[in-house]
Structure 1
């Protein structure tokens, strides 16, 4: 190799610069493709959908989650190349347990916008509690939406799932002992079988902030903010330096115990409030978001090197939510000004 001499030094240099550019671009793409941002609209002072899409693009945010098939938003997304998680609202679950209604919903809200809008996942329900009377409709609605997508030839492009909270776990520490609670198991096990059969991920809302504030005596703030100087939780062959990884891997352990070893986890929400509660301030929130973005390309100890597709919660502060921390998860102020200095990719 050392004896090789290119005939054209200038051409060789150009080729090297092109290769370097491609490598840098690929690194940026890897980061950008790991990060999305949830776009909630529960405010009376927010930008219009077209302006929001421009804000995503100008900040190189390549993925979005919305919580209902808002037509203004879907139209604004046409041609944007932003990949989308579209939620089926809780109030629609019973209706979509009927196959004809599910087919109509998919035709109106997905097929009529595809391929101009890049749908990635349909989230059938968000954090449905197993004790909720609507829980019985989640899997039938998922099945019907999947079948409707298949009938439209979109089953290979768009996966159907549901978003769960970490409260579905009965045991979470250490992560290798992670298992679903006795209450959750009858609800979640058939859903996991559906996901495994269709190559779909489990969507999970992961909030170290909530875990920390519920138990600040036993959970250190640095463990929740990715700033712990060393291992906090040793767990056999794995070791944990941050709470986010511990929560995700607890879910992976629960999946493995329930026939879902091949099911990946997509973190469909994760965030930290800037005010309104314990440890809720701009410094902590900015630290959490920046560290999370930098971390997700690495994977968790159980899935090392496998980037974690993660959606930050949320794009804006939403003033119509319940008073307290719920109003202060925004990465941006309602007028589009950034709350933190963050590079999304």
Structure 2
């Protein structure tokens, strides 16, 4: 009997390790010069054992190259396409052209919009997100794929007005009317919340914030939130987002981290050494499947940003330096996804 129990334990442990190691994906942006061909990039994913990808809009060359691979995909609806998908017929055509036409691609999530925020330049898209999500959801359901492909939107911690301490996390008052119906939609359809979580930007924008807390290298507890012990900023930001959505009916709503990364140049703390430390420690943290203090023992599906530096991106100089690989496909850091 004891030997049977031991064998069962070892099998479960093996399955757990395999699942955890596959919980980390990489985002594939293309706003850069001299990047490899789409087929070469897919081959690079395969060589490195990366089995999850996010792309920021339908790209036929990428989708063709993904066909028949075991790489699971988050496919974005770009923000400038949201208004058109408020028309049900257009949404149906979008799903047919970009999903059904690629039957051998392992679509996992559709991110209807990215970081739409009532408080920034993306405010013009606010009224389009939920109607587009509903229409895409109906089109997916009508094809019989709703059990396999989940419809969501990619939000971010910038929507929170309170993030410290984590248990007090709350969305800004003028954001709640936008995000609460989305949370209700996700709960009703058993879809996850996609959230972009960047300890780097919190570190760069907060004077005197301990770098080791942001890089997962703090030797012990940094924040004691009424008994919840935080030794890294990622967990604190994740739990603040969880607390915020819980206040609006999302206590049982899974969070998938649709982006997280650290730049290697361009701003405070942006060095190759710091970035490599962050990515390695984040991968290790995810493989352990320890969850967070508010949601312990969970495997958090997480997508690293990004595959390559993107020198044509707008914004801060640091935005151009998030790549894990150089255009010649050589790694910038020594990371293990297997």
User: What pairs up with 1:9-88 in 2 under 5 angstroms?
Assistant: 26-88=15-77
In 2: Cα distance, 1:160 partner to 1:300 partner: 25
Residue 259 (structure 2) aligned to one of 249, 264, 269? 269
Matching residue of 2:278: 288
Q: Comparing 51-60 with 30-39, which one deviates more in the overlay?
A: 30-39
Q: Deviations over 1:133-183 (max 9, x none)?
A: 111000000000000000000111100000011011111100110111112
Residue 134 (structure 2) aligned to one of 140, 143, 147? 143
1:333 aligns with 2:322: no
1:90 aligns with 2:79: yes
In 1: Cα distance, 2:222 partner to 2:22 partner: 29
- Kindly state the Cα deviation for residue 320 of structure 1 after the two structures are TM-superposed: 1.2
In 1: Cα distance, 2:310 partner to 2:328 partner: 11
Gaps of 5+ in 2: none
- Kindly state the Cα deviation for residue 25 of structure 1 after the two structures are TM-superposed: 5.0
- Kindly state the Cα deviation for residue 89 of structure 1 after the two structures are TM-superposed: 0.4
Q: Secondary structure at the match of 1:277?
A: coil
Matching residue of 2:168: 177
Gaps of 5+ in 1: 5-14
User: What pairs up with 1:193-204 in 2 under 5 angstroms?
Assistant: 193-204=184-195
**1:106–1:340 CA distance, 2 compared to 1 (3 A):** same
Q: Deviations over 1:197-224 (max 9, x none)?
A: 111111000000000010131x210000
Matching residue of 2:309: 317
Q: Secondary structure at the match of 2:124?
A: coil
Q: Secondary structure at the match of 1:86?
A: strand
1:228 aligns with 2:221: no
Answer yes or no: is the 8 Å Cα contact 1:32–1:60 preserved in 2.
Answer: no
Residue 115 (structure 2) aligned to one of 127, 134, 149? 127
Q: Secondary structure at the match of 1:184?
A: helix
- Kindly state the Cα deviation for residue 289 of structure 1 after the two structures are TM-superposed: 0.3
Q: Secondary structure at the match of 2:43?
A: helix
Answer yes or no: is the 8 Å Cα contact 2:22–2:337 preserved in 1.
Answer: no
- Kindly state the Cα deviation for residue 112 of structure 1 after the two structures are TM-superposed: 1.2
Matching residue of 1:10: none
Residue 198 (structure 2) aligned to one of 207, 213, 222? 207
- Kindly state the Cα deviation for residue 238 of structure 1 after the two structures are TM-superposed: 1.0
- Kindly state the Cα deviation for residue 43 of structure 1 after the two structures are TM-superposed: 1.1
Q: Deviations over 1:62-87 (max 9, x none)?
A: 10000000000000000011000000
In 1: Cα distance, 2:332 partner to 2:281 partner: 16
TM-score by length of 1: 0.92
In 1: Cα distance, 2:29 partner to 2:58 partner: 12
Residue 157 (structure 1) aligned to one of 148, 160, 168? 148
Answer yes or no: is the 8 Å Cα contact 2:263–2:321 preserved in 1.
Answer: yes
Q: Secondary structure at the match of 2:154?
A: strand
Q: Which runs of 4+ in 1 moved over 4 A?
A: 22-25
In 1: Cα distance, 2:9 partner to 2:161 partner: 49
Answer yes or no: is the 8 Å Cα contact 1:32–1:62 preserved in 2.
Answer: no
Q: How many residues align?
A: 331
- Kindly state the Cα deviation for residue 303 of structure 1 after the two structures are TM-superposed: 1.1
In 2: Cα distance, 1:25 partner to 1:177 partner: 37
